[in-house]
């Protein structure tokens, strides 16, 4: 029985990880409330989650705010740009669906919208994890993120599916998330941790030290 509650037992490692994710989730929500800091918060969330995946975390709070400070300028610019483009895509969709006349032209415009929006979404998926992991100019971050999104389609589609699934479940079956309580407790950090496993495996191809940690063998 004592071995179950030993510090390095599977149970205690699992409970410690859950506690870390709950702390990370709380910090992320708190720093995302000012919308202008959303980009920096997303970058720090991904940075800390991937540190947890690799087993390299020092302290969830310390790791988070170190990334938040170091990447604040670039992440804020990217975050505001992201919000602006989302607004543009929304306005474009409203114009096409509500104002464009029925017929072939409307179908073409909608098809073009879905194509461009899909490409934008795949690129966006990589931007903040990449910024959290590597250094570079804004141009380099955007360019490399776009290349990674198409060079690693499995990861891109898997991450997109995970995010889409959580949104669908939250919208259409809110009771499954405790009507939002799960998101307040661990949801954002949990999703970042799961996707962090996928991102870390890709990034490890370019920097082996970024590979996810392996579970220690049981004696």
Question: Looking at the predicted structure, is the pLDDT value of residue 11 above 80?
Answer: no
Question: Looking at the predicted structure, is the pLDDT value of residue 203 above 90?
Answer: yes
Question: Looking at the predicted structure, is the pLDDT value of residue 30 above 50?
Answer: yes
Q: Convert the pLDDT of each residue in 79-113 to its tens digit.
A: 999 999 999 999 989 888 887 777 787 888 889 99
More confident residue, 71 or 94: 71
pLDDT band at 5 (very low <50, low <70, confident <90, very high): low
pLDDT band at 218 (very low <50, low <70, confident <90, very high): very low
Distance CA 22, CA 78 (A): 26
Question: Looking at the predicted structure, is the pLDDT value of residue 212 above 50?
Answer: yes
Q: Convert the pLDDT of each residue in 176-192 to its tens digit.
A: 888 889 999 999 999 99
Distance (Å) of CA 37 to CA 80, 139, 158, 164, 176:
9, 20, 27, 23, 29
Q: What number of other Cβ atoms are within 10 A of residue 169's Cβ?
A: 14
Question: Looking at the predicted structure, is the pLDDT value of residue 211 above 80?
Answer: no
Q: Convert the pLDDT of each residue in 118-174 to its tens digit.
A: 999 999 999 999 999 999 999 999 999 999 999 999 999 999 999 999 999 999 999
Which pLDDT score, from 0 to 100, does residue 215 have? 54
- Contacts (Cβ under 8 Å, ≥6 apart) of 49: 24, 189, 192, 193, 195, 196
pTM for the predicted model, two decimal places: 0.90
- Considering Cα of 50, then 52, then 58, then 59, what sign does the dihedral take? positive
């Amino acid at each position: 029985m004592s071995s179950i509650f030993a510090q390095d037992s599977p149970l205690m490692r699992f409970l410690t990880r859950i506690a870390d994710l709950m702390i990370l989730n709380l910090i992320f929500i708190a720093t995302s409330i000012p919308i202008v800091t959303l980009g920096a918060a997303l970058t720090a969330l991904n940075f800390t989650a991937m540190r947890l995946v690799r087993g390299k975390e020092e302290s969830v709070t310390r790791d988070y705010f170190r990334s938040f400070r170091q990447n604040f300028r670039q992440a804020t610019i990217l975050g505001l740009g992201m919000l602006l483009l989302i607004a543009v895509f929304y306005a474009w969709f409203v114009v096409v669906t509500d104002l464009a006349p029925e017929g072939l032209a409307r179908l073409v415009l909608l098809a073009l919208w879905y194509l461009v929006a899909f490409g934008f979404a795949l690129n966006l998926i990589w931007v903040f994890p990449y910024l959290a992991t590597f250094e570079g100019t804004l141009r380099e971050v955007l360019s490399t993120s776009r290349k990674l999104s198409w060079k690693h389609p499995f990861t891109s589609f898997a991450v997109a599916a995970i995010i889409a699934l959580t949104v669908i479940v939250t919208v259409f079956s809110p009771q499954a998330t405790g009507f939002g309580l799960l998101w307040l407790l661990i949801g954002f950090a949990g999703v970042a941790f799961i996707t962090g496993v996928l991102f870390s495996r890709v990034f490890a191809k370019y920097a082996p030290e970024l590979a996810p940690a392996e579970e220690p063998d049981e004696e």
